[in-house]
Structure 1
Amino acid sequence: MTSAIPAFQDPAVAARFASFPDRARKGLLTLRSLIFETAADLPPVGPLEETLKWGQPAYLTPETKSGSTIRLGLPKEGGFAIYVHCQTTILSEFQSLFPDDFTYEGHRAIRFDDDADLPQDQIGLLIRRALTYHLKQPA
């Protein structure tokens, strides 16, 4: 990553990150930073809104409505995860590119072990697709 993690604008989101276990928090903060960096490289996305949805940090594109919500959280199985809307094709398209590279949870999440070394280029593709999901795709 090339830029610093952006400051929290919402105290509730900051408190939620502070409540995550130390080992998972590191990976979740890496994902958070990657979401902001990816959005910054995609001008049609516009500014991101960071909020809580279902108690999880969530990232939306309210100005442009270009994207589908991305959430970060802790799966029951342990570790940490990135979630996308399960009624989209975001994760199934990603899984077709990387069928054996990740631990998938249906069409809604990729789970990581606490000590996982995140493949940022690959995860960046997932984030890019989620942030641009509602933009008109070329024919």
Structure 2
Amino acid sequence: MTPDIRAKFSSYPLAAQKQLEEVRRLILAVAEENALGAVEESQKWGQVSYLVKGGSSIRIDWKPKDPDVIKVYFHCQTSLVETFREIYRQEFDYEGNRAIVLPLTAEVNGGPLKHCLQLALKYHSLKHLSLRGV
């Protein structure tokens, strides 16, 4: 983790930091398990962003106006969140066509979230498939 990303996470309340770090670990694990290559970790639009070659950006953030959740953002001009909503209707709350909303108390060690992250990180090889090949 770069110093600027560490500083960004450190600016959040402890519960949000922990949840964001768990999602970060999951993103890195998905990229490694799927041999997707190097993960570019940066800040975009004031949010921590993750991208691999052939994937779509994933951003994560916490906001004081929604203190009990973090959000996992996806590019709003993709059909990713629409796909997630179709296959995981009950598992998540969503924010429009751009984010999965995760309570600070939610388990993020795998399952549906891991699958959603995988679809985003492989997006350009799956985007032509119905429901991204699910």
TM-score normalized by the length of structure 2: 0.87
Per the alignment, residue 5 of structure 1 pairs with none
Q: SS at 2:97's partner residue?
A: coil
Distance in 2 between residues matched to 1:73 and 1:122, nearest whole Å = 19
Number of residue pairs aligned between Structure 1 and Structure 2: 127
Alignment partner of 1:77 is 2:66: yes
Percent of pairs with identical residues: 35
Which segments of 5 or more consecutive residues in structure 2 lack a partner in the other structure? Answer: none
Structure 1 residue 36 displacement after superposition:
0.1
What does residue 121 of structure 1 align with? 111
Per the alignment, residue 111 of structure 1 pairs with 101
Query: What runs of 5+ residues in structure 1 fail to find an aligned partner?
Result: 1-7
Following TM superposition, the consecutive aligned residue runs of length 4 or more in structure 1 with deviations greater than 3 angstroms are 136-139
1:138 deviation in Å?
A: 6.4
Q: Which amino acid aligns with 1:68?
A: S
Superposed, 1:1-139 pairs within 5 Å as 8=1, 10-43=2-35, 45-61=36-52, 65-75=53-63, 76-78=65-67, 79-118=69-108, 120-135=110-125
